Amino acid sequence: ETHGISFRIQISVKELLDTDVLLKLLFHLPVNYPSTLPDISVNSDQLTRAQCMDVKDKLLEQAKKHLSEPMVHDLILWVQQHLKDVIKQSATVCNEKTTLSKGTEDGIWMLLLHLDHMRAKAKYVKTVEKWASNLRLTGRLMFMGKIILILLQGDRSSIKEYLILQKTSKVDVDSSGKKCKEKMMSVLCETEVQSQHKRFQTFEIKEYSTLEELQKEFEAAGLTTLFSEFVPPLFK
């Protein structure tokens, strides 16, 4: 009712040299769609990040032509027909674009979230693991007493996509056992990973019995400042 809906569509498109390109499209339709444009995220193992961004930009251009009428089906047909052209164009401007966007979209970003509770803990944890794996995000899901933190690292667009999923999917159950969305989540920090930060190689679920243990996890990753700024206030 308040966030709209999100869904992922995977399509296979015949590309140059007749190889199949698997496109993963994530659509987030706001509450007042179609009079508001959808958010679109494009991922593909066979395309570069710059090419994915180009496909997304072109899809949003097309979306503007369909404003105020349902458009997802038309957009999918369009990308199936025009992917070759977009990729050809993208190749010519690719070099300029990559150098420009390195510092903003293409850097490795980090996200720290605080969750108030998990009623259906096993299912919730499994969902977070699946999202992190699909979006190639690494980091930690951390439990310490009643505190639940999610620390993620990865491409900025994947971090954004994760946030959309976390806010709009039914990940937990309410007090009556009905599926519900995450309404008690706060974003503590979203920032670019700096040279002093250690990159996590995997995504792991960890439980800590003391605040010191939790602090050591942050310190080992070069995130002492992040810890002292955002974590202790949660215990007050």
Model confidence pTM above 0.75? no
* Domain spanning 5-91: CATH superfamily: Ubiquitin Conjugating Enzyme (3.10.110.10)
pLDDT tens digits along 186-215:
888 888 888 778 888 999 999 999 999 999
| pLDDT per residue as tens digits for the range 98-157 | 333 333 445 789 999 999 888 889 999 999 999 999 999 999 999 999 999 999 999 989
Q: Is the peptide bond before 232 cis (omega within 30 degrees of 0)?
A: no
The residue behind tokens 């096993």 is 122
Neighbours of 34 (CB within 10 A): 16
Helix/strand/coil for 233: helix
For the chain, residues classed under CATH 3.30.70.100 are: 108-234
Range(s) within the chain of domains with CATH label 3.10.110.10: 5-91
Q: Identify whether the C-beta of residue 63 lies closer than 8 Å to the C-beta of residue 75.
A: yes
CATH class of 108-234: alpha beta
